[in-house]
Structure 1
Amino acid sequence: MTLQELKLNFFTELNEQYPATEIESFFFWLTQSELNISRLEMALDPQKEVHTQQMERFRIATSRLKNYEPIQYIVGETEFYGCLIKVNPSVLIPRPETEELVAWMVEDLKDKKEAFRILDIGTGSGCIPISLAKSLPQAEISAIDISAEAIKTAKENANLNKVEVEFLQQDILKTEKLDAKFEVIVSNPPYVRELEKKMMQENVLKHEPNLALFVSDENPLIFYRKIAQLAYKALSEKGVLYFEINEYLAKETEELLNEIGFSFIEIKNDIFDKSRMIKAIL
């Protein structure tokens, strides 16, 4: 089978489940990861022969896509803020809005001359602290997560990107006090309410870790309240707390931070003009 025939077959298999632009994106992810063939090479030599073993890897990947498994889990990695991040079903796939949160932090903190400490709560793949460590070499960064498998993945990603981040397994909801003082605390905690599940794609619902995504409809800000209370005591003077937030609960999150005692609070919209980030200064 040639590359051109492989592509045609791939589109035929998936065209009832995905739009053509997404199938094309999947195809180039897989030709790069499974065949080590770039988009340019594909365009220059569409008649290149594909070996039986390579065709079998494509067949398996196609089957997984039919089951709505995210392409990032299939190839085992994604890019985040210029970093290569390994992903698997124990961690959320990093989102573009989280990149925007990191970009906001880097812009705020890049001119700090002296060393300072950052804590990431609920780190998952480690994408936030790793990208911060690359962009802010003067920062001493640590991160915690409840999942041992997530911590294992995050450590692998730190090694892959050649940065130093201290990772600890810890249940934030059972934490009474943070063990150190920090100038900056950041978190992208679970914030999707059960009632919002009907708006989510099947690949997220079936394959990404529910523990990292969902909260009850009755207490959707449970993580924000706990983290903000801990941060209020653990942040140094003029310390800053950053959150990624639920776009439908921006006002409620702002009121919560006011109630706990933070002074200057700023909500920031993402590129789609949705309220997805908040910053609070002690």
Structure 2
Amino acid sequence: MKLKELKLKFTETLSEVYPSEEIQSFFFILSEKYLNLARVQITLEADKEIGSTTLKKFETALERLKKQEPIQYIVGDTEFYGLTFKVNKDTLIPRPETEELVEWIIEDSVSEKSNDYSILDIGTGSGCIAISLAKKLSGAAISALDYSYEALKTAEENAKLNNVTVQFFQEDILKTGTLPQQYDVIVSNPPYVRELEKLKMQSNVLDHEPASALFVSNSDPLLFYRTIARLSLRYLKPNGKLYFEINEYLSKELIESLKDEGYPIIKLKKDFRGKDRMLQCRKSK
């Protein structure tokens, strides 16, 4: 089969499931992964013959796409903050708004000259936050925890892939009462999507990404934030900062909760879509 014929097959097979722009994007990603062809080369090499082994890979990917499995899981990796991360069913796919949270922490931390500047990422998943910080803040000691052993294995692979040192450890943040040390920065992108919000979500997320990393109960949607905030008050250094990625619909409630927990200074930031997406809390001296 020629490349142009394969592209046509993709378009025809997926046209009832995805918009044309998304189908084109899928094909470009797979062509780069399986054929090492850049986007412009697909047109230039339209008559390229696809070998049987490679064709099988495309056909397998096509079947998985028909079931609305995320393309990132199909190819096994994704890009975040200019770095490559392995992802799988045990890890969330990193989102672009989380890159903004990483950027905020870097901007606040880059001028720090302390020899023992330390950062903890709670609920690290693929390790995207911790590893990106380690890459950009080479003088900082970065640690990260997650309750999932499988997620931590992926995070460790990603640290090696990106040539950084991160200390990973397994811990259920809802059950622990201690942390290993004091930190200058604690950051978390915890589960924050309420069960009632599932109706607004696409099946590629609902059916394939790990539910435990996404959803919280309608009755207590701030559980992770409250737990992490209380623990952080004990384990942040004086003037230490706590950063959260947040649910856009719960920003006011979360700010009030964090004030009640004892954080006198709270900053709210919107993401590139104009939605309330991240918070910074400063511990008093």
TM-score (norm 1): 0.99
Amino acid at match of 1:150: A
Amino acid at match of 2:92: L
Partner residue, 2:248: 247
Partner residue, 2:28: 28
State the shift of 1:55 in Å.
Answer: 1.4
Deviation digits for residues 167-222 of structure 1 (CA, Å, limit 9, x no counterpart): 00100000112221000000000000000000001000000000100000000000
SS of the equivalent of 2:220 reads: coil
RMSD: 0.7
Partner residue, 1:8: 8
Partner residue, 1:71: 71
Partner residue, 1:112: 112
Amino acid at match of 1:178: L
Deviation digits for residues 6-65 of structure 1 (CA, Å, limit 9, x no counterpart): 101110000000001100100011011122222122122111111122111111100000
Amino acid at match of 1:142: S
Shifted more, 36-45 versus 90-99: the winner is: 36-45
State the shift of 1:236 in Å.
Answer: 0.4
Shifted more, 50-59 versus 152-161: the winner is: 50-59
Amino acid at match of 1:177: T
SS of the equivalent of 1:47 reads: coil
* Distance in 1, Cα, partners of 2:108 & 2:25: 34
* Distance in 2, Cα, partners of 1:222 & 1:174: 12
Partner residue, 2:155: 154
* Distance in 1, Cα, partners of 2:169 & 2:9: 46
Deviation digits for residues 53-88 of structure 1 (CA, Å, limit 9, x no counterpart): 211111110000000100000000000001100000
Residues 84-233 of structure 1: pairs in structure 2 closer than 5 A: 84-115=84-115, 116-233=117-234
* Distance in 2, Cα, partners of 1:155 & 1:186: 18
Partner residue, 1:238: 239
Partner residue, 1:266: 267
Amino acid at match of 2:124: T
Partner residue, 1:257: 258
Q: Deviation above 2 Å: which 4+ runs of structure 1? A: none
TM-score (norm 2): 0.98
Partner residue, 2:61: 61
Amino acid at match of 2:242: L
SS of the equivalent of 2:107 reads: helix
Unaligned runs of 5+ in 1: none
Partner residue, 2:52: 52
* Distance in 2, Cα, partners of 1:154 & 1:195: 30
Amino acid at match of 2:72: Q
Deviation digits for residues 218-271 of structure 1 (CA, Å, limit 9, x no counterpart): 000000000000001100000000000000000111111101111110010001
* Distance in 2, Cα, partners of 1:170 & 1:88: 20
SS of the equivalent of 1:172 reads: coil
SS of the equivalent of 2:207 reads: helix
* Distance in 2, Cα, partners of 1:39 & 1:242: 38
Amino acid at match of 1:246: N
State the shift of 1:121 in Å.
Answer: 0.2
Amino acid at match of 1:243: F
* Distance in 2, Cα, partners of 1:191 & 1:128: 17
* Distance in 2, Cα, partners of 1:93 & 1:13: 25
Q: How many residues align?
A: 282
* Distance in 1, Cα, partners of 2:182 & 2:57: 49
Unaligned runs of 5+ in 2: none
